[in-house]
A and B are shown apart, each in its own frame.
Chain A
Amino acid sequence: MNISRRHMLILLPAAAVAWKYVEAGEPEASPNYQMSEHWWGMLINIPKCIGCGNCVRACQTENDVPDGNFRTWVERYHVTDTEMTTPEVISPDGGKEGFPVAQEDAGKYFFVPKMCNHCADSPCTQVCPVGATFVSPDGVVLIDQTYCLGCGYCVQACPYGCRYLHPTKHVADKCTLCYHRITKGLTTACCEACPTGARQLADLKNPNDPIHEFLKTHPVEVLKPQMATGAKAYYYGLDGSVR
């Protein structure tokens, strides 16, 4: 009975239609997804983040991220009012298992989820010697791991520390914005697993995406704007002490 209900479902929403193409192994042939109609980004709402680490674990599960490396991670900032420039920051194991309990004191605390900013003018793709990493037509910074030399130049060029060399594949690795999900109408694994809605996948080319209303009515900032990377991870409630 359940099966038939599932099949009903599969025929309905966009998310499930592409499912057939996954099972057939040819999702790029999906008629539902046109690269030219999307421009992906992410909205991160700092006051909503509780530092549970769900996103980090979900990302590791979904993308087989090796232990010790992170496609996304969470930092906890502790800033006292007179020491804006020297915040105390921790991210034990990327925040995967949450954070130690903090006690009230003179400073303020907040969590900052980090991930690839999917920069439009990305310094990492600029330096790749062979064209193994690139900004896709729908605005996602991807790596062709069958073409990557593993030179590590892109890792050096990323101002945000979002890239790493995969310890067993010996190629660069990073957040794909769950490209295999968003092209099927699903949201990213980190957004799916976030209990508070602190992360929201945003399609900047979709006029119905709530991101437009949010950007219109809220002050937002990107990380390290002085780097002029065209970052597309928009932060609401970002403190000036965040690096």
Chain B
Amino acid sequence: MKDAGHLFRFAGLFVVAFLVFLVVRGYVVPKTFGQYGHYRGAAIGEIAQHPVKFAGHQTCEGCHSDIADTKTKGAHAHVNCEACHGALYQNLPAPPPPKGNLYERFVALIVPPPPPAPPILLHADDPATVTPVKPDTLVLCARCHTASAAKPKGFPQVDPTQHMGGVPCETCHNPHSPAIGSDTSASPAAGGAK
């Protein structure tokens, strides 16, 4: 037994290392790890906090009910507001990044941290400050309605060069209800542009 003493010293190293590991592990593993599964449960809530940029058509319709009424009667009834107008948001000035501890600053030298996401202000939050830009119909409408053999056959399509010769689309079509001559009572079949 005396002659195997050095082996116990080596084994002792293992035991000490294992104990240190257990203590450190207790400190560094995030509190919510394992809450729902093998991951940090709090991550779900953090992802859910990302800023929303598309307010959703329900929000738009709250104020712009007149346009919503026009739209429901036309062929664009199911085209949501932000499909054409885009997400009406504005980035606010980013807050200064929090100052890390010594370890974090050392790590930042090797792996630079991403800049923090700036807060968002939506048109719905402050209609006066965040103002939408009217889309150019020549570009906007062509994106969907330019004729191509690849598009579904029933979808209204035109050749933009022949169809209007540079005249903006809204001259003849109301984008919110595109059938010609029927600003508010367009036929639901919506063949107007064909």
Contacts and interface: CB of A to CB of B under 8 A. Distances in A.
A binds B: yes
A125 B53 CA distance: 28
Q: What band does the interface of chain B fall in when counting residues whose beta carbon is under 8 Å from A? A: 35 or more
Given A9-B62, A61-B87, A111-B150, A192 B144 contact: no
A186 B144 contact: no
B182 interface: no
A50 B54 contact: no
Nearest to B81: A192
Nearest to A98: B143
B131 to A, nearest CB: 12
Interface in B1-56: 30, 33, 36-40, 43-54, 56
A71 to B, nearest CB: 13
A64 interface: yes
Contact of A6 (B30, B62, B143): B62
Interface string B54-94: 10111100110000000000001011101110110000000
Given A99-B148, A101-B146, A105-B149, A179 B47 contact: yes
Interface string B105-121: 00000010010010000
Interface in A126-172: 131-137, 142, 144, 146-147, 166, 168-170
A51 B37 CA distance: 38
Contact of A131 (B38, B148, B155): B38
Given A180-B49, A194-B83, A195-B83, A101 B147 contact: yes
Contacts of B30: 147
Contacts of A25: 49
Contacts of A219: none
A9 B44 CA distance: 27
A186 B148 CA distance: 33
A239 to B, nearest CB: 13
A169 B111 CA distance: 9
Contacts, number: 169
A189 B58 contact: no
Given A50-B144, A192-B82, A186 B56 contact: yes
A2 B127 contact: yes
Given A61-B87, A131-B38, A144 B62 contact: no
Interface in A87-125: 98-105, 109-111
A218 interface: no
A103 B151 CA distance: 10
Contacts of B78: 195-197
Contacts of B39: 131-134, 144, 147
B180 interface: no
Given A22-B52, A146-B40, 16 more contacts: A2-B127, A9-B59, A28-B48, A51-B150, A99-B150, A101-B150, A105-B149, A109-B148, A132-B39, A147-B40, A179-B44, A186-B52, A186-B54, A187-B56, A195-B144, A196-B155
8 closest A-B pairs by CB: A28-B45, A9-B62, A109-B150, A144-B43, A180-B50, A134-B39, A102-B150, A131-B38
7 contacts: A16-B58, A27-B48, A63-B50, A99-B148, A102-B148, A142-B44, A147-B40
